[in-house]
Amino acid sequence: MSVGTERLGLATLRRVPAESRPLVRPGTVAAGVVHLGLGAFHRAHQAVYTEAAIDSAGGDWAIVGVAPRSTALVEALAAQDGLFSVSTLSAGSAATRVVGSLAGVRHAASDPAAVVALLADPAIRVVTLTVTEKAYQLDPVSGVLRADPQLTLDLSTDRPPRTVPGLLVRGLLARADADTGPIALVSCDNLPANGRRLRGLVQQSLALAGASDATLERLAAQVTFPGTMVDRIVPASTDETLATARAALGVADLAAVAAEPYTQWVVEDDFPGGRPAWEQAGAVLTDDAGPWERLKLRGLNGVHSAVAYLGALAGCETIAEALALPGLAGVLRRFIADDVASSFTPPQGVRVVDYGDEVLGRFANPAIRHRTLQVAMDGSQKLPQRVLHTIADLRAVGRSAHWGALVVAAWLRFLGGQADDGRRLPLDDPLADRIRAALAAAPDTPAGTVDAVFALREVFPSALAEDDQVRAEVTGWLTALREHGVVATLAGSP
């Protein structure tokens, strides 16, 4: 920040152009929601819906945002009175608006006790989470959270909790003790049946923490886990994002985010302590988010991963650039029409191919510079629900998943760490060490790679790993990718 640049905050809001000012002024609405995970996605999604809900229907539903790790973000938001901006970008246009739904911020790593106290506060009736896929896994061998091997210590009552489940469990135990009242815990991560998944994780964590039967019963009656489908493309912020915000606002915003115009939120309506009127902000409240989740995970995220791996291998920096690779859009349309659309029953009134066409249009947005390597991250946590479930559901009815196999092959080649032009590709994945060790021990052939990676049971369940047809298709694609590269493989695919 250059000397003399004013920062966004309550005191400088009058300098911000009128059309960019927030709908809600921080400090005027009490908190009712705690959000865990203050990343760019939350700021451009739930925070925006909640601000619009408060604006149109009122209610004490401001959000206290908790960053599990990042201190920089907590400091930036605290210095800005919780204000931040969202720039909505499409080809040739940008609109920047400040959002005012954050009533405060906390840093879990340095002050876990404050977060536990917050979760136990009777004013808080909704907790939302965006903590990424990898935070939801229990290790099948040790029974301990894979994301943090210290979980058991974390849950003992004489240690400050350090993980998300640790914080939740400690907060819930305090609520049960004080008979605080009902609360909904809402996963907003891209996982199938995310509500049930969070419920399972919390129950297992409560058991590990030694919660008594009476406590478990009390919590079962007072805590719900609505499932959700969340959607908006929000790349990690860059210097360019901050420059766009600053040009629009006339003040510096160090917590600025940029996002596409499209946004969607489908939420199961199970909030025993009430909730913001999100439907007033365009959210769909429903009994069952399942069909929407499958549509989004398979028809958007699965296709996103396909573009990310094939694009990264072909040397493309962004998703939009990758989508322009000759032949790729056609292959993705076939993947959507032949594989994804036949693998599940979509929500009523939705045609999967139309949804897919809209998705490809969104990916082509040149103003969203979403890096292929960002989407490629954490593949071991993403591939199952994005692509492998599509393949497994087709195999269960005796069909093959030709294009799905190409996506798996692209991931396997990506794991090898080298793009088609020889450039190094980083492997950012919680299973990276095991993947590297498995690949190093295997023969360096397509079949050797398939054997090594298909042996990761938490990624490939045995029914899929032992399916000769799937292995043969993936091996075939991997051979083509290794011998000819992405561009020639796409050109040669029927």
* Contacts with ligand CS2, residue ranges (CB under 6 A): 190, 231-233, 301, 304, 374-375, 382
Nearer to ligand CS2, 202 or 257 (CB): 257
Tell me phi and psi for residue 187, to 5 degrees.
-75, 130
CB of 37 to ligand CS2, least distance (A): 13
Nearer to ligand CS2, 233 or 438 (CB): 233
Nearer to ligand CS2, 161 or 384 (CB): 384
CB of 363 to ligand CS2, least distance (A): 9
CB of 343 to ligand CS2, least distance (A): 18
Nearer to ligand CS2, 371 or 395 (CB): 371
Nearer to ligand CS2, 156 or 374 (CB): 374
CB of 304 to ligand CS2, least distance (A): 4
Nearer to ligand CS2, 116 or 406 (CB): 406
Nearer to ligand CS2, 225 or 292 (CB): 292
CB of 385 to ligand CS2, least distance (A): 11
CB of 144 to ligand CS2, least distance (A): 26
Nearer to ligand CS2, 80 or 228 (CB): 228
Residue nearest to ligand CS2 (CB): 304
CB of 132 to ligand CS2, least distance (A): 9
CB of 48 to ligand CS2, least distance (A): 13
